[in-house]
Amino acid sequence: MLSTKKRRMKTLKTNQLYTLLNSFKNEIIGAENITVKDTASYISFGRAVAASDANMDSCYQALADRIGRTIVLYEQLVRKNLVERMDTMEFGAILQTIETQSIANAKQNNSWIYGSTSNVIEQQNPFEILKSDDTALLVQYFSKRGTWEINKKIYDIQMNDAFINETAGSAFVEMIFQDMYNAMTLAENDLQHGVMSTAIASAIHAGTKKTNPIPTMARNLLDEYNTLTNAGLTVSTALINKEFLRYCAKEILLVTKKMRDPSIFYNELGATKWHESPQVRLLTNYATASDAYLSADTYHKELVALPDYDTVNFWQARGTTDDFTTVSSVNIKVHEGDADVTGTDVSQSGVIAYVCDPRRQGYMFDRIRTKSIYNPASECTDYFHKADQGFFINRARCGVVFYIAES
């Protein structure tokens, strides 16, 4: 399951603070004669730093560099694992993908063919050019890249106060960087939600568009169930109806198993694709309802069990209400390739599950770095915490969206 729980705040320990300062004291003030080992030497070091603007600026920059490498000391917002994360090299390699459109057909082996007029074996001409029905290569290019930046301003008076004692120093270090790193992690998590929502919207568009739809990619389970049973369920009553929840579990599990065999049913480009272990994401509202209403009174729980899955509290955003309509919605402009400049607005609520090849979408969040510059007019240092980001949606890979909506 995806974890959304935050760890308890970790305070920078005194000996960790000493180690941190000693690691760069010579770079700042050439303080070979000062070793930070107790309160007195800590305050002495602080006075040396405050003695000049140059020392102060060097201390700021050194803190940014060292703490950037020792982020484990601080409480962090947990990075989610919604979408596959790649490093720069992996992402660079996938900016252009070359794959087969379909599996090649088996052909007769001409090594042993008797002649039409005799029992003599005819030898195949190795240089004869034969018409091939093999598949063409599918080449795709992805170029969605950008940068992120989190800014923080620290005033000199805050640095001076930090050297009153070790406790103040620890608080100062955490104040500078914890918010920046948490903000960057939050931005990364938001990027993952955006990538996943875009992949979901793309599948919905493929399954519901007026021209050449692929209905196997977008399944309105509520409409299907009401058509089969005349139950007349609504969105508000569906998630408390045991029979409907059983139907949902069955259909999600069925698609998860069928996606393991090659087919053209689950991708937007008509390619023959499959995946041995499809990724299953369930909206928490649906997963909780299914677990509560199906498992409680079912003796053979394996008969109604959903496939291995991870829960998602929301697809795109929680809004201001955090209600089912909002957390189950995607509202994305979908482009069918680079040639589709205008795009199509896709707005759909009630999305309860997304089953896909994990390679259908991915992102890169790399080159995380911290820069700083001193502003003498304001007597403060500005920190810029930066990262490069990029993402892709591979429309040739499998993806199926399950949603509930009234006809």
pLDDT in tens, 177-221: 777 778 888 888 888 898 899 899 999 999 999 999 999 999 999
Give the start-to-end residue ranges of the domains of the chain. 82-154+195-407
338-352 pLDDT, tens digit each: 678 788 999 999 999
The answer on pLDDT for 90 being more than 80 is no
Least confident of 8-22, 299-313, 317-331: 8-22
In angstroms, what is the C-alpha Rg of the chain? 29
Structure tokens at 336: 């069918």
CB atoms within 10 A of CB 298: 14
CA–CA separation, 118 vs 329, rounded Å?
71
| CB-count exposure of residue 30 (10 Å: 0-12, 13-18, 19+) | exposed
Q: 211 vs 101, 153, 265, CA distance in Å?
A: 21, 53, 16
Cα distance between residue 403 and residue 221, in whole Å: 6
The residue among 107 and 84 whose pLDDT is bigger is: 84
Q: How far is CA 277 from the centre of its chain?
A: 18
User: pLDDT (tens digit, 9 = 90+) per residue, 348-400?
Assistant: 999 999 999 999 998 887 777 888 888 888 888 888 888 887 788 889 999 99
The pLDDT, as a whole number, for residue 189 is 87
Give the model's pLDDT for residue 74: 46
Give pLDDT, residue 142. 57
Q: Which residues are 114's β-sheet partners?
A: 121
DSSP state of 263: B
Place of tokens 């004869």: 128
CA 245 from centroid of its chain's CA atoms: 28
Ranges 2-16, 179-193, 327-341: which has the least confidence: 2-16
Q: Which residues make Cβ contacts (< 8 Å) with residue 167, sequence separation at least 6? A: none
Q: Which of 63-67, 96-100, 224-228, 363-367 has the lowest mean pLDDT?
A: 63-67
Inter-residue long-range contacts of 94-99, CB under 8 Å, 24+ positions, other chains counted: 94/142, 94/362, 94/392, 95/141, 95/142, 95/143, 95/392, 96/139, 96/140, 96/141, 96/142, 97/138, 97/139, 97/140, 97/142, 97/394, 97/396, 98/137, 98/138, 98/139, 99/137, 99/138, 99/271, 99/396
Is the pLDDT reported for residue 328 higher than 60? yes
Confidence of residue 247 (pLDDT cuts 50, 70, 90): very high
